[in-house]
Structure 1
Amino acid sequence: HYPMLDGDVDNWYKVTDAARRQGNVRLFIGGHYHAIRNLKYDGIPGILMRSNLRDENGKPGYGIYEVDSKEIRAYVQNVGEPKRLVAVYDIQKPCYDPKGKAEKYPDYSDNSKFPQVEEEWITQTTGAFYSSPAFENNRVFTGDNEGFVKAFSLKNGKLLWKFKTERRIIGGPAVSQGIVVCGSADKKIYGLNAKNGQLLWTVSATQPVLGAVSIKNGIAYIGASDSTFRAIQIRSGKIVWAYRGVKGYIVTKPLVTDDKVIFGAWDNTLYALDKTDGKEIWKWTGGLTRMHFSPAAVWPQASFGKVFIVDPQRAMTAIDLQNGKTIWRTFQSKVRESMGIAADGKRIYAKTMQDSVVCYAAEGNSPRQLWACNVGFGYEHGPCMLQEKGGIVFGSTKDGLIYAINGKNGTLLWRHKVGNSLMSTVVPISPKKILFSNTDGQVGILKINKSKRP
């Protein structure tokens, strides 16, 4: 579907290197841009075909490819019109060097610029991680695209146990009191023994469970795609309450305050429920009408009587914690879905869509930017939350970069590139140790060695 280009596919260079070695790959066919484009993927011909949706002239259509011993001919067939030839590709003559290389490879120069950042261990798995790891005592817990919940040694990354669910895991697991809780696209929520992965209980939903888990005082809070948000006792698996008023599906990690549970869904809505019985307290939509602008991926934060969110309309919003009314909403910074909060609750951090991280004051009834840091990560839309530990803000990107910023003044401390794929929200164990996972199937720990500062 996607073109094999930098910015469209994380591992485009691996794909083109592999295809080039075959020697007989003649054409990549795709369609992501819904328009006809003739491209070169590191020398290998590529074409993007129009969508079968109506074009600017109201005509639906599709592509037709004719192949013979000499060439590939690509046509556009608009409904009610003669087919139109748009490209011809010779399949007899060589069009690229099978021993050649990609025109560009990912840049890992940051790792030599900041030698104090070391990879303590990285474990390569076969499944992709679309959610953050969790840890307790000496174990790290993950959920992956193959449907496995896995436990690794916090010390060296050795696999300790694994438990197989029936479908992929998108929402991150949580662990407390020796119990791991995780949802799965197999329509179940699982409680597992953290020591050995033994199944303790399951809760069934009627649709996939894609939400991340929050645990507080022995209660797990998790949303699913069956219009339901649940509170579950982690020791017994007993449902404490279930709120069934959600219109969209849920992927976020809910915020649990002293008396409320707050989460967004893909229905333009932020929900606030009573933590004790699950009754609806308020709903916020902020006038959003397009589903794609929903505050659904962001992990909400609360401080000074306000709930803070960012959303894909590129706005940051402060909402009254008690009644759900908008206190302020700003488009000053080009934010999207990634944010975080200082440990003391005084600062709100957000990642923008171009290069920078911004910081706003949590106090007050109007938006007030405190600092902006040019991290230099380029165009960015990965939903990776910002996490603070010991006054240091840690973040990550869609291109495998992890970075650290001084939370008080916005000074960039370091950057380290782990790979070239989407990073999950990092988990700082301490200011000197950062747990991470990514869609390349890696889980690992970065450590800071101050003796190697540049």
Structure 2
Amino acid sequence: MKQKIVLLLAAALLLCSGVLARRAPRHVVPRAAELNFAFLTDVHVTPRGESDSLLRAAVAEINASAVDFVLVTGDLCNMGSDAELHCVHGILKRLRKPWFAVPGNHETTWSESACTTFGRLFGNDGRLAFRAGGYLFVGFTAGPYMKMADGSVRREDLQWVEERMRAARPGERIVTFCHYPLTNDVTNRTAVTQLLRRYDVRFDLCGHYHTLRLCNFDSIPGLMGRSLIPKNRRQEPAAGYNLVRVWGDSVALYEKRLGEAPRLSFAIPQGNSAALTALPCDPQPAPITYERTGAALVVEDEASIYTGVAVAGDTIFYGTSLGVLKAYDVKNRREVWRRQFGNAVYSTPLAAGGVVVAGDAAGAVWGLDAATGRRLWRIAAKTPVIGDGLVADGWLYMGLGSGSMAKIELRTGRIAWEFRFGEGQPQGRPAVAGGRVVFGAWDTNLYCLDEATGERLWSWNNGSPQKLYSPGHIVPRIVGGRVFIVAPDRCMTALDLATGREIWRVKRRKVRETTGVSADGSAVYAKTMDGELLAVATDADCYMELWTVDAGWGYDHNPCPVEVREGVAYMANRTGCVASVSGDGRLFWAEKFASSAANDFFVDADNRLWVTFIEGKIFCLGDPVVR
């Protein structure tokens, strides 16, 4: 009987803790006047690599210590691959202390499982809470999800954080943790810190920059931890992690090098203090100025948006982070229908011939009736579908998850052919021209297929085995029998469409993933990582720049493609800014529409320009009806 009571009490305590764990090992944390815990971040495990063995050594050292529990604040691996996640989870399972982990950008940006494997292994979706020694610890994630962008805490996650903090017991102090520092690296940082201050958060734990640092997060102490492998091996040769001591009204951070005694880095009062206010704080973000452009804010969703829009008349279609595909009447400002999928929607919908197509991160491509949302057809995929598609002449060209590209009859969902290429998501939109289908994938390759048969005509790669340099999230541009691409290797390449032969390849500008084509086809556009728009001749036998214009943004890595409307090019950046550039390289305007990164532009049949942003906002430029 006593044993049953103990078990029931333990179960109740775990439920009250707010931990979202399902399968990962979790233990009841003892209450104590003083807390001591290990704090790991940026371990970047590669199976059978140096980080693998170093993390095993750290786990063994922690098991032999007297710490109460272990926190891991993201970047557990490099690409977020299933193999990496299984490896690091297997190592952390060896901990004989309670342990809690949230993902970082290396788990969410390039995840082959659309961020689902982390939740399955670690028992949480990036949100967890637990109690220890009179403190409520609340963890959350800032992405970015499935694309290069700055961090951004999803609306639904902020709501969850507030609900957990509101449930704090009388006298209980709150500590938060997240991979990203709460600086302007997080686009909605002010909304986050305002919320945390409202509940008197005592301090925040973070990583991301691989170095020990005390930060001022809008009057909240920020404790940034070191990485497992030193950021600079010459200056810091030893691998290690962090230890945190909490007592009274104070908190201290120690560096713990493997095999050595802890070294105090700093000790400060909890909450705001004179010592904290002496530290610099990031400036407030720039004000919103989109009204100057004549654009209209059409949608402000309750969830985040990672897709562009499809348009049919006055109805737009888009997906959300809550796994909902929505049809929205922009003229009457009302939702027409919605379809709930099993996971977040990352694939931009397509609309043509009365059919709306959407990819599902739970593993399917759907064909729905545009008017009602009724299912017309469904194609199951073996992996999440996160890539964009293209409709041409009644046919859909779209990836069916990792290692697949297919030609599908739009009306019926019949697969004409499917090309299998092993593994790697074809995330960017394919291009179709001259009887060819060209697309890139996260397996390092660019592929060219016969449009009629799906036969591979040629493939190309940059010669590097590094998958992070893959042309996986690009839109190939086909002009005049040539294919133009940029990729994360920061090179711009022109290939012969018929043969795949390199015409030229240069690394003169810091291009990354963003391209477009001028209205007359004479120039291919590329956005640089310095916030410039670059125009390059499409018919020259060598690389020839026509002009470059600077939007004044500085560093940028947002992959949102360039769109052209009425001869004017539009590009967007990681902090919610949009720029308008003439065909001869004159900057018309550069204004701030939102706080977060843009997803995609779309020009509809009525010549309206649409653009979506991660924070859940959709704008329209060029239609007085929606204003």
Q: Same fold (TM over 0.5)?
A: yes
Asked if 2 retains the 8 angstrom alpha-carbon contact of 1:171 and 1:252, the reply is no
Asked if 2 retains the 8 angstrom alpha-carbon contact of 1:13 and 1:104, the reply is no
Which residue among 602, 606, 615 is the counterpart of 1:440? 615
Asked if 1 retains the 8 angstrom alpha-carbon contact of 2:203 and 2:270, the reply is no
Asked if 2 retains the 8 angstrom alpha-carbon contact of 1:121 and 1:156, the reply is no
Q: Are 2:185 and 1:13 aligned? A: no
> Which SS does the other structure have where 2:192 is aligned?
helix
Which residue among 40, 44, 49 is the counterpart of 2:216? 40
Matches within 5 A, 1:128-147: 128-147=304-323
Residues 97/76 of structure 1: CA separation in 2 closer, same or farther (3 Å cut):
closer
Which residue among 83, 92, 100 is the counterpart of 2:262? 83
- Structure having the larger proportion of residues in strand: 1
Distance 1:120 1:419 in 2: 12
Asked if 1 retains the 8 angstrom alpha-carbon contact of 2:220 and 2:271, the reply is no
Q: Are 2:271 and 1:70 aligned? A: no
Distance 1:430 1:232 in 2: 23
> Which SS does the other structure have where 2:599 is aligned?
coil
> Which SS does the other structure have where 2:464 is aligned?
coil
Aligned residues: 440
Task: Give the structure 2 partner of residue 414 of structure 1.
Answer: 589
Asked if 1 retains the 8 angstrom alpha-carbon contact of 2:369 and 2:375, the reply is yes
Greater RCO, CA 8 A, separation 6+? 1
Distance 1:447 1:277 in 2: 40
TM-score, with normalisation over the residues of structure 2?
0.67
> Which SS does the other structure have where 1:85 is aligned?
strand
CA RMSD of aligned residues (A): 2.2
Instruction: Report the Cα offset of residue 119 of structure 1.
Output: 3.3
Residues 432/417 of structure 1: CA separation in 2 closer, same or farther (3 Å cut):
farther
Instruction: Report the Cα offset of residue 385 of structure 1.
Output: 0.6
Distance 2:550 2:259 in 1: 53
The structure number with the bigger radius of gyration is 2
Instruction: Report the Cα offset of residue 155 of structure 1.
Output: 2.5
Instruction: Report the Cα offset of residue 61 of structure 1.
Output: 2.5
Residues 353/160 of structure 1: CA separation in 2 closer, same or farther (3 Å cut):
same
AA at the equivalent of 1:205: A
Question: Quick one: percent identity of the two aligned structures?
Answer: 31
AA at the equivalent of 1:367: Y
Q: Are 2:524 and 1:345 aligned? A: no
Instruction: Report the Cα offset of residue 264 of structure 1.
Output: 0.6
Instruction: Report the Cα offset of residue 194 of structure 1.
Output: 0.6
Q: What residue ranges of structure 1 are gaps of 5+ in the alignment? A: 450-454
Asked if 2 retains the 8 angstrom alpha-carbon contact of 1:118 and 1:448, the reply is no
TM-score, with normalisation over the residues of structure 1?
0.91
Matches within 5 A, 1:14-29: 14-22=191-199, 24-29=200-205
Which residue among 560, 564, 582 is the counterpart of 1:388? 564
Range with bigger deviation, 153-162 or 67-76: 153-162
Task: Give the structure 2 partner of residue 423 of structure 1.
Answer: 598
Residues 80/174 of structure 1: CA separation in 2 closer, same or farther (3 Å cut):
same
> Which SS does the other structure have where 2:552 is aligned?
strand
Instruction: Report the Cα offset of residue 222 of structure 1.
Output: 1.2
Task: Give the structure 1 partner of residue 495 of structure 2.
Answer: 319
Instruction: Report the Cα offset of residue 432 of structure 1.
Output: 7.2
Asked if 2 retains the 8 angstrom alpha-carbon contact of 1:132 and 1:142, the reply is yes
Task: Give the structure 2 partner of residue 452 of structure 1.
Answer: none
Matches within 5 A, 1:237-276: 237-276=413-452
Residues 174/430 of structure 1: CA separation in 2 closer, same or farther (3 Å cut):
closer
Asked if 2 retains the 8 angstrom alpha-carbon contact of 1:157 and 1:444, the reply is no
Tell me the alpha carbon deviations over residues 347-374 of structure 1, each in whole angstroms, 9 at most, x when there is no partner.
1011111131010110021011111111
Distance 2:387 2:317 in 1: 16
Asked if 2 retains the 8 angstrom alpha-carbon contact of 1:44 and 1:95, the reply is no
- Structure having the larger proportion of residues in helix: 2
Q: Are 2:151 and 1:2 aligned? A: no
Residues 431/392 of structure 1: CA separation in 2 closer, same or farther (3 Å cut):
farther
Task: Give the structure 2 partner of residue 372 of structure 1.
Answer: 548
Distance 1:118 1:269 in 2: 41
Q: What residue ranges of structure 2 are gaps of 5+ in the alignment? A: 1-178
> Which SS does the other structure have where 2:295 is aligned?
strand
Asked if 2 retains the 8 angstrom alpha-carbon contact of 1:260 and 1:273, the reply is yes
> Which SS does the other structure have where 1:89 is aligned?
strand
Asked if 1 retains the 8 angstrom alpha-carbon contact of 2:220 and 2:272, the reply is no
AA at the equivalent of 1:259: G
Matches within 5 A, 1:280-295: 280-295=456-471
Range with bigger deviation, 148-157 or 386-395: 148-157
Distance 2:341 2:433 in 1: 30
Tell me the alpha carbon deviations over residues 191-219 of structure 1, each in whole angstroms, 9 at most, x when there is no partner.
11111111111101111111111111121
